[in-house]
Chain A
Amino acid sequence: MTKNHRLNSISAGTEAVFHVVIGLFSICCIIPFVFVIIISLSAESSIREIGYSFIPRAWSFNTYTYAIQRLPQIWRSYFNSILITVVGTFLSTLICALYSYALFRPDFKYRGFFNFLSFFTMIFGGGLVPTYVICTQILGLKENYAALIVPLLVSPFNIIIMRTFFKSSVPLDLIEAATIDGSGEYSTFFRVVLPVAKPGLATIALLNSLAYWNDWYLSLLYIRQNKILQPLQALLMELQNNVEYLNRMSASLGASAIQEATRAPTQTLRMVLVVLIVVPIACAYPFFQRYIVAGLTIGSVKG
């Protein structure tokens, strides 16, 4: 019989094994990102000699300078990504908060109906092609920024999370008190309810901004000609099978890249783009992590 030194805890040996298992997996989760950063900073000569390596023979900032100076499409795509994320996050969060607030109010007459309206879309839909046809043929969502923003505006899942947040953080008495004080519905919502539900709002805003920042699917469907509107993710996806794509795009933007194209470090360039996409997420990540955990825990508990 072994005696534990600490009350009701596992033996030091077992804990060490657990640390190895969990630790290894955790490291595996971030090592590819570190690797891609190293590749993006490796000198071309080194890559040609020994391939991608954690310890390149020589370091260089060349690909970054090349990307920044010679490839205007990268700037344009960065701008597109930011624009789509900012506008999309603002609109989708506002719409979600309004919708879920009405669903949360027990005295809203048509609560059941609108609840079903949003919920039903989680379990049945028209499918990819009918949605595509309706969006492009009737709603005019093609080859424009709206096509990259509108299709992600409402998420029934977020509505459920936000409604749960309202339920758990906003006492009904508070709304009642505000109404008795003569506050209108909208001023109650913006001045009384939203400040109380701030953590929930932050969670929804973060989920939305990640959805927009990470989106490539909408560009795949709706941006097929006017490729100048592509956000970074879509640009990166084009490069999967077509490493010269970025040079051609930039040449069409008037860059002097045509002659450069042959000398362009296209392989490392893709890794530079990956870094440009992930760095904002990685920087903001430590701050938003706890909101997301809170939001997803709530959302998963009760649908």
Chain B
Amino acid sequence: MNEKLPARAAGSGAPNWFQRNKKTLALLSMVTPGAIWLLLLRYLPIGGIILAFKNYKIFPRNPTFWSNLQHSKWVGLKNFEFLFKTDQALVAIRNTLLYNIVFIILGCIIPVAFAIMMNEFTKKFVAKAYQTMMFFPYFLSWVVVSYFLNAFIDAQYGMIPAAQAAAGKEVISWYTNTKPWPAIIIIANLWKNVGYSTVLYLAAITGIDANQYEAAAIDGATKWQQIRYVTLPHLRTMISILLILNVGKIFAADFGLFYNVPMQNGALFSVTQVIDTYIYRVFITTGNISQSSAAGLLQNVIGFVCIMLANAVVKRIDSESSLF
């Protein structure tokens, strides 16, 4: 283990424990800040999962966290019951799954198609300019995006309602009408993320040896055949890994997208509520720490199982590319 980097030969005589372990201690001290953070902000909350099995209440006599936790009763799985009593949780789960399925399919096909198209451009600086433009939305927050959208559909001044009013047509009230929202959510998500994925796929395509295309062309392969038999096989591993990892995350939603883009409108919850926003809203409106912890725990456990399964599948396809 330690042969690669020999310990300093400076201090002669019998080295004490500190001198012998100097390197390990130094490296340990380097991971310490990060490790402490991980323990406090990631592992301690994992311990906090016990909240899901207690009826956490604040005891006025000594309202510190530990005292509350000790005095709160164990209730087993009772905190999970509320999830199945109303159809709200079910709607959130349905929305999360349906949106994620659409995101996974379109979020794969469109960027791959775009990357293949952009790779064919003869003027490389034009391709570069497109890339710069379409990558831009990736760096914006969902709050900002919500206003970009608002500029077009604001009930009072938005461009589309204003145009409809000017043309004497019936004005759609976008923020109260659930109908257009599935499409809006999908478009917003694609708008923000397609550029990013395209750039990644494009980088992978540019890495393919040009000789392979030339050889294929000399053998009489059409452009379409070259894409089919050279480009796509090269992208196959990357596509399948990203696909499967996304399937692994199918129970997790992008909180920002679903919370901000509809501008928190309650009228739209039936089509914009997802598991993540549901948990947040249960927590904020009821203040029930135990029930919302239970909902989160259920989501994380299912998510964990999905990721493990997805990873096992990746491993079978290509053991080099698995996540772990």
List A residues at the B interface (Cβ < 8 Å). 6-10, 14-15, 18-19, 21-23, 25-30, 32-33, 35-36, 39, 47, 50-54, 95-96, 98-99, 101-103, 105-110, 114, 117-119, 121, 123-135, 137-139, 150-151, 153-154, 159, 172, 175-176, 179-180, 182, 184-186, 189, 210, 214-217, 233, 236-237, 240-241, 267, 270-271, 274, 277-278, 281-282, 285-286, 289, 293, 296-297, 300, 302-303
**Known A29-B191, A121-B42; contact A129-B121, beta-carbon cutoff 8 A:** no
- What are the interface flags for B289-300 relative to A under an 8 Å C-beta threshold, 1 for contact and 0 otherwise? 100110011011
Distance of A50 Cα from B118 Cα, bound (Å): 39
Closest A-B pairs by Cβ, 10 of them: A51-B162, A127-B296, A126-B45, A130-B48, A185-B26, A32-B148, A99-B34, A137-B65, A214-B141, A26-B133
Closest chain B residue, CB of each to CB of A32? B148
Whether B147 sits at the interface, judged by CB under 8 Å, is yes
Interface of A is mostly: helix
Q: Is the CB of B31 within 8 A of A114?
A: yes
Q: Is the CB of A240 within 8 A of B263?
A: yes
Closest chain A residue, CB of each to CB of B120? A10
Whether B285 sits at the interface, judged by CB under 8 Å, is no
**Known A109-B1, A274-B144, A297-B203; contact A285-B136, beta-carbon cutoff 8 A:** yes
Whether B8 sits at the interface, judged by CB under 8 Å, is yes
Q: Is the CB of A126 within 8 A of B120?
A: no
Distance to closest chain A CB from B115 (angstroms):
10
Contacting residues of chain B (229-268) with chain A, CB-CB under 8 angstroms: 238, 242, 255-256, 260, 263-265
Which residues of chain B are within 8 angstroms of A293 by Cβ–Cβ distance? 135, 199, 203
Distance of A26 Cα from B4 Cα, bound (Å): 50
- Which residue from B8, B49, B214, B303 sits with its C-beta under 8 Å from A182? B8
Which residues of chain A are within 8 angstroms of B214 by Cβ–Cβ distance? 8
- Chain B CB within 10 Å — which of A22, A53, A121, A214 has the most? A22
Contacting residues of chain B (95-123) with chain A, CB-CB under 8 angstroms: 114, 117-118, 120-122
Which listed segment binds A: B86-94, B149-157, B178-186?
B149-157
**Known A51-B161, A185-B27; contact A121-B38, beta-carbon cutoff 8 A:** yes
- What are the interface flags for B126-153 relative to A under an 8 Å C-beta threshold, 1 for contact and 0 otherwise? 1001101111110111011011111110
